[in-house]
Amino acid sequence: MRNLTIGNRNFASIKFRNLSIESGVGCYRAKFKLEAMPRGSEEWRLEWMDVRGQLMLGSGSKHEQDYVGEARSGNSTVLIGSGRETSFSTYVALSQYQLQKLQERVSGGDVRMSLYLSGNYSFRNPPSDDINPSSPAEVKSVFTIPWSDWAKQIDRCGFSDLMLFELEIPDSDAPDKLQDAVGSLRKAKSDIDKGEFSDAAYRSRKVLESCREALGDMPDLDRAKSEYRGKTDGAGREDMSLTSRELLAADVAKHFMDQAPHPDGSGQRVQYNRRQATLALRLAEAFLTSAIGRYGESE
């Protein structure tokens, strides 16, 4: 429980009631339901307006907490007074990435959070003592969400049905071709967002080609092909190393993307749909992640 304060005076106790997470188009919104109970016996009524603030992960001092997002009240004005509890809601927009990071930080335990809210105010029936009009009406609400409740909301909003992957960006001293691969992957993602699916497949192919050039994989790929066909002395398909199998798999993935025309209109004109372009993008992302890792191991 925390208090709504103006200056040094506490006007209401604030209780956290529950959390719900709503899904949108590629995004989520956390809704925190709070209740305000006026303090004291005076018959005052407070209008709390333009309420906004920050949601932080953690319950210690603010500099020890981690920022989550901007919080805004779902009510244009929160009316508090008359000796009755007042319910109001605060919303925080969350991306898929933010929700995944919260999941990783929570890691099966209860969730400790802090809401810092502030807003303008006016009194319909002001209290008897003087209030500094320049002081905002503020709240710091610290609360714990049990893991079972958090997990229920994660499942309810559909986030548990998603899998997000991170791509480690190579260091600035990495080969230019590896940097080019990252750029091509970004363009491929943008192409899909714009509905240019064949262009996305083409960019995904460029990712694989750049990785191959950056790491000088062609001699090892040629050997992997020979091993797979059983044409190499002392090594056959069953004896291939995992690296050889990976290079061969990347070559097969590239073959899937070879039908994509160049964005300038040249090349074969086989059109890819969203599913096929997304597959090409995910394959390129996976092999790029591995190529960055192989480069790091070679240093």
Q: How confident is the model at residue 297 (pLDDT cuts 50, 70, 90)?
A: confident
Contacts of 81 (CB under 8 A, 6+ apart): 38, 43, 44, 45, 46, 124, 125
Instruction: Please answer whether residues 15 and 143 qualify as being in contact, where contact means their C-beta atoms are separated by less than 8 angstroms.
Output: no
Give the model's pLDDT for residue 234: 62
Higher-pLDDT residue of 223, 159:
223
> Using CA atoms, how far apart are residues 175 and 182, in angstroms rounded to an integer?
11
pLDDT in tens, 235-273: 678 888 999 999 999 999 999 998 887 655 555 567 899
Q: Per the structure block, which two tokens stand in for 282?
A: 């995910």
DSSP category for residue 171:
P
Residue 165, pLDDT > 70, answer no
Residue 60 one-letter amino acid: G
Distance CA(204)–CA(183), nearest Å, equals 10
DSSP 241: -
CB atoms within 10 A of CB 162: 11
What is the pLDDT confidence band of residue 138, given thresholds at 50, 70 and 90?
Answer: very high
Task: Read off φ and ψ for residue 54, nearest 5 degrees.
Answer: -135, 145
pLDDT recorded at residue 253: 96
Instruction: Give tens-digit pLDDT for 58-110.
Output: 877 888 899 999 999 988 889 888 778 899 999 999 988 888 888 878 877 88
Q: Are 114 and 65 in contact (CB under 8 A)?
A: yes
Q: Classify residue 114 by its DSSP letter.
A: E
Residue type, 3: N
Taking the model in full, what pTM does it have?
A: 0.60
Query: CA 69, 74, 78, 82 torsion: positive or negative?
Result: negative
Residue 29 CB contacts under 8 Å (≥ 6 apart), including other chains? 21, 22, 91, 92, 93, 94
